[in-house]
């Protein structure tokens, strides 16, 4: 029973420490996710700008030529290295007439902006949306968009990335918190009373014994005084 | 004796953790960008290119494409070998263009993944 209680206390302390580290991890993960969102938006804007320039003067269905155009203007290596954390493998280019005619579900509203409520823009798994979608319309000579550039980014690699980047920090934090918990235990630990031979009598009985001792001493003293007076006479 | 065992265990645990996280850092995603668009037959068409940046010829490159429905069911999986008679093997510095088409209806595809094998 004693060992079970000790084990349970240790388990509870470890759970509290893990909960604290998990909170820090979630905070770090959210920071990384916001950074990735920003990167994705900038990336999509860049592609949309290039698509607007290219498809204004070229055949819109010739997307093979567009990727060569991207390579010559920006460089595929630069494009792929723009994402340091997790990058999209697929860049989608959808034209507005295909979207309007319903041939394709691009996850946009009637203004060709991202529709956050669209099912295709979500992927709920492991208690959070692990897909981020960035969508930007691209324009030709007219005000109406020619189409949209859509980029999907997976959030799952971010979890591993956050864990691997901060691994040593989490480990040290775990060790330090355990150390602090142990110090706290030492501080609050009650000092055991020293074992003495007086344990045969209770502390509360000492007072009455002292009173009895005082009365007996008084009686003895009185008797001594009487005997002294008799001797003098 | 028991203390030494616990110390050894903590050191091994620490080293394993560091090695595991280093492994995660050393395995970034590949440098492949693929363009997706709707072709004239209203099917998804994927096009891109790959450059052999290594100093040795490459004998096998393939892409695996997996499309999932709204419910997360796999509706199409396709493996495409990028090398053929004309470009086998891919020499260092050589550029390889590729494109492939998916049979499933674009409206039924909700999630798609592209895996690159080299």
- pLDDT, residue A11, reads 93
Contact (CB<8Å) A80/B36:
no
B106 touches chain A (CB under 8 A): yes
Domain boundaries, chain A: 2-167, 197-232
Residue B58 belongs to what domain range? 30-117
Averaged pLDDT for residues B8-21: 74
Residue B53 lies in a domain: yes
Q: Which of B22, B36, B49 sits opposite A92 (nearest CB)?
A: B36
- pLDDT, residue B29, reads 41
Q: Which of B18, B38, B49 sits opposite A98 (nearest CB)?
A: B38
Of A91, A60, A231, the closest CA to residue A153 belongs to: A91
- pLDDT, residue B28, reads 43
In order, the DSSP letters of A144-210 are SEEEEEEEEEESHHHHHHHHHHTHHHHHHHHHHHHHHHHHHHHHHPPPPPPP-GGGGS-HHHHHHHH
CATH code at position B105: 2.60.40
Residue B77 lies in a domain: yes
Chain A, nearest residue to B25 by Cα: A164
Residue A202 to residues A32, A196, A219: CA-CA distances in angstroms?
Answer: 66, 12, 26
Structural domains of chain B, count = 1
Give which of B23, B29, B70 to mutate to test A binding, by max A Cβ within 10 Å: B29
Chain B, nearest residue to A150 by Cα: B36
Tokens coding A54: 């290219």
Residue A126 has pLDDT above 70, yes or no: no
Of A142, A148, A155, A159, the closest CA to residue A26 belongs to: A159
Percent of chain A with pLDDT over 70: 88
In angstroms, the CA A105 to CA A120 distance is 8
CB pairs under 8 A between A and B: 93
Structure confidence at residue A178 as a pLDDT band (50, 70, 90): very high
Scan for tokens 């055991």, then name that residue: A192
A167 touches chain B (CB under 8 A): yes
- Residue A193: phi and psi, rounded to 5, are -65, 140
A131 touches chain B (CB under 8 A): yes
Residue A143 to residues A8, A57, A58, A137, A138: CA-CA distances in angstroms?
Answer: 68, 16, 18, 11, 10
With a threshold of 0.85, tell me whether the complex ipTM lies above it: no
**CB-side neighbour CA atoms (13 Å) of A148:** 25
Residue B65 lies in a domain: yes
């Amino acid at each position: 029973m004693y060992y079970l209680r000790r084990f349970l206390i240790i388990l509870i302390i470890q759970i509290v420490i893990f909960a604290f580290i998990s909170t820090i991890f979630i905070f770090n993960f959210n920071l990384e996710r916001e950074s990735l969102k920003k990167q994705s938006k900038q990336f999509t804007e860049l592609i949309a700008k290039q698509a607007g320039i290219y498809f204004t003067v070229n055949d819109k269905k010739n997307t093979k030529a567009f990727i060569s155009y991207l390579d010559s203007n920006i460089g595929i290596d630069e494009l792929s290295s723009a994402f340091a954390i997790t990058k999209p493998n697929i860049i989608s280019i959808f034209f507005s007439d295909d979207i309007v005619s319903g041939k394709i579900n691009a996850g946009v509203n009637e203004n060709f902006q991202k529709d956050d409520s669209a099912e295709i823009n979500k992927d709920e798994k492991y208690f959070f949306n692990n897909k981020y979608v960035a969508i930007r319309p691209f324009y030709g000579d007219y005000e109406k968009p020619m189409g949209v550039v859509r980029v999907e980014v997976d959030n799952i690699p971010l979890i591993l990335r956050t864990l691997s980047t901060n691994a040593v920090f989490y480990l040290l934090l775990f060790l330090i918190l355990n150390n602090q918990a142990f110090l706290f235990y030492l501080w609050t630990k009650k000092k055991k009373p020293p074992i003495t031979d007086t344990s045969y009598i209770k502390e509360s009985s000492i007072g009455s014994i002292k009173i009895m001792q005082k009365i007996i001493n008084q009686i003895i003293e009185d008797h001594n005084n009487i005997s002294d007076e008799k001797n003098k006479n | 004796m028991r203390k030494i065992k616990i110390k050894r265990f903590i050191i091994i645990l620490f080293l394993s953790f560091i090695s595991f996280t280093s492994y995660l850092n050393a395995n970034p995603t590949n440098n492949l960008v693929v363009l997706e668009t709707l072709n004239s037959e209203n099917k998804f068409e994927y096009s891109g290119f790959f450059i052999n940046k290594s100093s040795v010829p490459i004998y096998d490159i393939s892409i695996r494409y997996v499309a999932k429905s709204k419910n997360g069911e796999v509706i199409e999986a396709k493996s495409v070998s990028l090398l053929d008679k004309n470009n086998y093997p891919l020499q260092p510095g050589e550029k390889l263009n590729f494109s492939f088409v998916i049979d499933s209806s674009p409206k039924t595809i909700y999630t798609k993944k592209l895996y690159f094998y080299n």
